[in-house]
Amino acid sequence: MDARAILLIGSLLLTACAPTIGNKQDVRTTSFFVGETTKQEVADVLGLPADISRSDALGLEYWAYRDKPELSGLIVPVPVGGTAVQTTSFSTGQDGSYEFKDAAAIYVFDQSNTLIDVRYPSN
């Protein structure tokens, strides 16, 4: 194997990956038009929300997005003597389910499925 191949493989092994299951775009930097953007357009740009709730009295629907996927577990190599290594798994107790404290952005739609407000709870 020549040096370039070894370098390429080495680079790949040293390149950490990022999760791909989060929102399609960053909710903090994505802009929509209040009074124009529809629910379907928000879903197409960001993906589905973490939670959907409704107020029948107000005729409003709230789409809550979290910032990024939750860390639910770790697999860590642990030296067990000599050159031997075994992996150990840890659970964080999180499973990706939504709680209000997780909301990074909340999009509010009226009965015509049009965006009427955006709120950023953590701000």
Partner 1 sequence: MFSKIKVTFVILFCALMAGCAGQIKPMSSDEVSNLSQKRAAVAYFYPDKKINYNELVYKVLWNEYRSNSVSFAGLWDIESELSERFQTRFRQMGINQAVLARDLLNDEQYANLQEDTYTHIRAVLKAIKDGENFPTLTLGASYQKALADQGVDRLVLLGQYPFNIEVFGLTDSEIMRSSADVWVIDTNDGSILFDGAAYINFGHEYEESPREIESNNLHAFKEGIRSAVDKEFAPERLPKQMGFSNPQ
Binding site residues, partner 1, CB under 8 A: 13-22, 24, 40, 43-44, 47-52, 54, 61, 66, 69-77, 87, 94-98
Least separation in angstroms between residue 44's CB and partner 1 is 7
Q: Give the 3-state secondary structure of residue 108.
A: strand
Q: Which residue, chain included where needed, has tokens 């107790």? A: 93
Distance (Å, whole) CA 107 – CA 104: 10
Q: Give the 3-state secondary structure of residue 119.
A: strand
Nearer to partner 1, 32 or 51 (CB): 51
Least separation in angstroms between residue 83's CB and partner 1 is 16
Nearer to partner 1, 35 or 73 (CB): 73
Distance (Å, whole) CA 111 – CA 102: 25
